[in-house]
């Protein structure tokens, strides 16, 4: 451990101010990166999480070492880690296109809280290094998102003959589009004489980038297909 931090390991007024300041600084560094990407939890949220975790740890240490209360000083920190799960869950959303967003922010908030616990306990080196690693992971590995497969989407196809659906499925296979789910229902007798006899809800997961508008146009122009739309 670094000797320059040794005078600040004990709970004193100076060390308390330093720990709280360092917790705010580390939380702000992570939060600024999230704010720059317009994520749900940003600058102030990360600062408060890290600050709250730090003061929680310091309170446990103070009650045990200074007030000589018989207690488990790690209990408060454990409750902080558990509580952060509920905060992180609030940043996770499922979009209309069935894609999940906010997992990285939730993981960052959870890690930010643990960084606060480390700083609050006087483990300054660990808190600072963890902050640097979090920033490196969130910024340095952003390019990996370019290699992710496009998200799944669903289309609704109305058709008159069963053979028409075979054309759609063959077209998807030829274009390397995986069919994850298929639901077919009969619309016969549901309305006017011009109504389609069948409709199919298809969940598609392309293995490469695809123009959805062009895809739907190609499907609509197939023989026996009355209508196709994204849902």
pLDDT tens across 163-200, in order? 889 999 999 988 888 898 899 888 765 554 555 688 99
Tokens 């660990």, located at residue: 126
pLDDT over 70, % of the chain: 89
- Backbone φ and ψ of 104, nearest 5°: -65, -40
Tally Cβ neighbours within 10 Å of residue 115: 30
Long-range pairs, 13-19, Cβ under 8 A, ≥24 = 15/122, 16/58, 19/54, 19/58, 19/119, 19/120, 19/122, 19/124
pLDDT at 133: 93
How confident is the model at residue 11, as a pLDDT?
85
Residue with tokens 């931090």: 5
CB 104 within 8 A of CB 134: no
At residue 224, the pLDDT reads 87
- Paired strand residues for 100: 94
* pLDDT for the residue 189: 54
How much is the pLDDT for 71? Answer: 77
Domains, the chain, in order of start with CATH, read 3-147 (no CATH), 153-230 (3.30.70.260)
17/37: higher pLDDT: 17
Q: How confident is the model at residue 155 (pLDDT cuts 50, 70, 90)?
A: very high
Higher pLDDT, 230 or 38: 230
Residue 23's pLDDT is 93
What confidence category does residue 153 fall into, taking pLDDT thresholds of 50, 70 and 90?
A: confident
204 strand-pairing partners: 153, 179
Question: Given this model, what pLDDT does residue 201 score?
Answer: 92
- Summary count for the chain: helices (H), strands (E): 7, 6
On average, the pLDDT of the chain sits at 84
Burial 50-64 (b: 16+ CB within 10 A, else e): bbbbbbbbbebbeeb
Q: What is the pLDDT of residues 93-152, one digit of tens each?
A: 766 656 667 888 888 889 999 999 999 999 999 999 999 999 888 887 765 555 566 778
């Amino acid at each position: 451990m670094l000797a320059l931090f040794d005078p600040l390991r004990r709970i004193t007024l100076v060390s308390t101010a330093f720990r709280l300041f360092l917790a705010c600084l580390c939380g702000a560094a992570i939060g600024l990166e999230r704010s720059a990407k317009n994520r749900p939890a940003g600058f102030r949220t990360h600062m408060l999480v890290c600050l709250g975790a730090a003061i929680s740890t310091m309170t446990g240490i103070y009650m045990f070492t200074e007030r000589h209360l018989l207690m488990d000083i790690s209990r408060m920190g454990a409750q902080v880690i558990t509580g952060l799960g509920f905060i992180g869950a609030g940043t996770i959303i499922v979009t209309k296109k069935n894609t999940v967003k906010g997992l990285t922010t939730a993981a960052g908030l959870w890690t930010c809280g643990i960084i606060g616990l480390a700083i609050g306990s006087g483990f300054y080196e660990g808190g600072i290094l963890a902050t640097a690693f979090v920033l490196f992971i969130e910024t340095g590995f952003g390019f990996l998102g370019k290699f992710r497969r496009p998200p799944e989407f669903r289309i609704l196809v109305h058709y008159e003959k069963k053979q028409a659906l075979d054309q759609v499925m063959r077209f998807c296979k030829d274009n390397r589009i995986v069919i994850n789910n298929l639901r077919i229902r009969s619309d016969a007798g549901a309305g006017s004489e011009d109504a389609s006899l069948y409709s199919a809800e298809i969940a598609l997961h392309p293995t490469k980038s695809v123009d959805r508008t062009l895809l739907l146009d190609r499907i609509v122009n197939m023989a026996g297909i009355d209508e196709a739309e994204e849902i």
